[in-house]
Amino acid sequence: MGRRGLPILIVEDDYFIAQDIAKAVRAHGDQVVGPFPDVDLALQHLGEARAAILDIRVGERTSFAIADLLARHGTPFIFYSGISRARLPPHLNHARYVSKPCRPTTLIDLLHRMDARPAGTDTDIEDLLPLLRLRARQLLMDEQASDRLVEATLMRAVASLEERSFPPDTAKWLLDLLAREHRRHPGRHLS
């Protein structure tokens, strides 16, 4: 039996676009969570996803609350919308954004690149800095504060390495450390 693939949440209120994305997700060997044409319904299934494709405007609401929760949990997501990127709130400015129309396979490939690398992958820490900065900026509105959060995360990582060696999945480990550091001291990085 093969791997089950990446569970991808789809939040899109246009039926035909949602079905095209879902079909491409399945064809790629990933799992579809949704698609959901409603923010509240999508929020109920958030825990099932390891990645997400979000339309910005869903009915009369926006998907920003979903994006905020995904960012807090370190879950990669893409805004896929016909609405201008300029309409994103400041704390989501650094989120991935793809303008409609676009081939669904492009979205899926991008999500796979954003997802933490599989265990056993040799990763240079320097290669992970852009990913750490992106996640920090999704958590915090301020660029300097997000850089301080990344710095605190790396300092915690170095301190913990004195007791053990690098874990097999370095990217996931560092993203987990970043999320824990943010939860532990949510306001500390703002000053």
Q: What's the whole-number mean pLDDT along residues 154-162? A: 78
Angle of CA points 149, 154, 157, to nearest 5°: 125
Q: What is the pLDDT of residues 21-38, one digit of tens each?
A: 999 999 999 999 999 999
Domain contains 120? no
Q: What is the pLDDT of residues 89-106, one digit of tens each?
A: 888 877 888 999 889 998
54 and 109 inside one domain: yes
Domain contains 2? no
Task: For 94-110, give one letter per residue: b (16+ CB within 10 A) or e.
Answer: bbbbbeeeeebeebbeb
The answer to whether 52 and 66 are in contact (CB under 8 A) is: yes
51 and 85 inside one domain: yes
The answer to whether 133 and 93 are in contact (CB under 8 A) is: no
Residue where one domain finishes, among candidates 54, 84, 114: 114
Angle of CA points 170, 157, 185, to nearest 5°: 115
For residues 27 and 125, give the distance between their C-alpha atoms in angstroms, rounded to a whole number: 33
29 and 101 inside one domain: yes
Residue where one domain finishes, among candidates 114, 143, 176: 114
Indicate the pTM of the whole model: 0.62
For residues 133 and 141, give the distance between their C-alpha atoms in angstroms, rounded to a whole number: 12
Residue where one domain finishes, among candidates 82, 114, 146: 114
